[in-house]
Amino acid sequence: MPAMPNLPARELANKASETTTRVLDQMRSLAEVMARHATLAMPPAPDTAGAKDLAARFARAPGALAQDAQAYMTDATQRLLMFWDVMRQAGNNFVEHERAGCPPVLFFPYETVVDGRDLTRPVNYALVRILPPEGTRATDPKLRPFVIIDPRAGHGAGIGGFKNDSQVGVALRRGHPVYFVVFYREPEKGQTILDVTAAEAAFLTRITKDHPEAPKPVVIGNCQGGWATMMLGAAAPDAVGALVLNGAPLSYWAGEKGRNPMRYLGGLAGGGWPSSFMADLGNGKFDGASLVANFESLSPGNTWFKKYFDLYSQVDSEADRFLEFERWWGGYFLMTSDEIRWIVDNLFIGNRFSSGQIASGGGETFNMREVKAPVIVFASSGDNITPVGQALRWIADVYRDEQEIKSLGQTIVYLLHDQIGHLGIFVSGAVAKKEHSEIATTLEMIEAVAPGLYEMRITGHEGTGSNEEWQVELVERTIADIRTLSGEASNEAFPAVAKISEMNQHLYDVLASPLVRQFATEASAEARRQASPMRTRRYMFSDLNPFMMPVRAMAGMVRQHRAPAAPDNPFLAMERAWANAVERSIDGWRDMRDAAMETAFHAIYGGLAAVGVTGDDTAAEAEAARRSVAVEPANLAEARGRVATGGYAEAVIRMMILLADARGGVRRSRLARSNALLTTEPPFVGMSPAARQAMIREQTVIVTLMREQALATLPALLPEAAERRKALAAVEHVAGPDDELGDKAREMLVQMRETLGLGPRIAAA
Give the list of residues 6+ apart from residue 248 with CB closer than 8 angstroms, or none. 221, 222, 223, 224, 225, 226, 227, 229, 230, 377, 386, 391
239 plus 279 within the same structural domain? no
Kind and range of the H or E run holding 22: helix 7-40
What is the β-pairing status of strands 125-130 and 110-115? antiparallel
Q: Please state, as a whole number, how many other Cβ atoms lie within 10 Å of the Cβ of residue 589.
A: 12
Q: How far apart are CA 279 and CA 290, in angstroms?
A: 11
Which pLDDT score, from 0 to 100, does residue 662 have? 85
712-748 residue pLDDT tens: 999 999 999 899 999 989 988 888 887 777 788 888 8
pLDDT above 60 for 485: yes
DSSP string for 294-351: HHHHHSHHIIIIIHHHHHHHTHHHHHHHHHHHHHHHT---EEEHHHHHHHIIIIIIT-
Does some domain include residue 356?
A: yes
pLDDT above 60 for 126: yes
No. of helices (H) and no. of strands (E), the chain: 33, 15
Q: Please give the share of the chain, as a percent, with pLDDT higher than 70.
A: 87
Which pLDDT score, from 0 to 100, does residue 763 have? 46
509 plus 422 within the same structural domain? no
Per the omega criterion (within 30 degrees of 0), is the bond before 683 cis?
yes
Does some domain include residue 41?
A: no
Task: Label residue 619 by pLDDT band (50, 70, 90).
Answer: very low
pLDDT above 80 for 344: yes
Q: Please give the share of the chain, as a percent, with pLDDT higher than 90.
A: 45
For residue 334, the cross-strand partners are: 287
Task: Label residue 254 by pLDDT band (50, 70, 90).
Answer: confident
Q: How far apart are CA 759 and CA 765, in angstroms?
A: 18
199 plus 286 within the same structural domain? no
203-241 residue pLDDT tens: 999 999 999 999 999 999 999 899 999 999 988 888 999
Q: What is the DSSP letter of 416?
A: E
Q: What's the number of domains the chain is made of?
A: 3
Range of the domain at 638: 622-756
609 plus 635 within the same structural domain? no
484 plus 507 within the same structural domain? no
428-452 residue pLDDT tens: 888 888 888 888 888 888 877 888 9
Does some domain include residue 334?
A: yes
Which segments of 116-254 does DSSP mark as H helices, in order? 167-173, 193-210, 224-235
Give the list of residues 6+ apart from residue 639 with CB closer than 8 angstroms, or none. 701, 702, 705, 706
pLDDT above 50 for 510: yes
384 plus 485 within the same structural domain? yes
455 plus 505 within the same structural domain? no
454 plus 500 within the same structural domain? no
Does some domain include residue 81?
A: no
Going 201 to 204 to 210 to 214, the CA torsion angle's sign is negative
Q: Please state, as a whole number, how many other Cβ atoms lie within 10 Å of the Cβ of residue 280.
A: 23
N-term to C-term CA, the chain: 82
Which pLDDT score, from 0 to 100, does residue 109 have? 93
Q: What is the CATH number of the domain that holds 157?
A: 3.40.50.1820
Does some domain include residue 39?
A: no
Name the residue among 615, 700, 80, 729 with its Cα closest to residue 346. Answer: 615
Does some domain include residue 99?
A: no
Does some domain include residue 230?
A: yes
609 plus 632 within the same structural domain? no
Q: Mean pLDDT score of the chain, rounded to an integer?
A: 86
418 plus 461 within the same structural domain? yes
Which pLDDT score, from 0 to 100, does residue 2 have? 44
What is the β-pairing status of strands 665-667 and 469-476? antiparallel
391 plus 377 within the same structural domain? yes
Answer yes or no: are the C-beta atoms of 389 and 489 closer than 8 Å.
yes
Looking at the chain, how many residues does it have?
765
Task: Label residue 626 by pLDDT band (50, 70, 90).
Answer: very low
Task: Label residue 623 by pLDDT band (50, 70, 90).
Answer: very low
Q: How far apart are CA 492 and CA 699, in angstroms?
A: 40
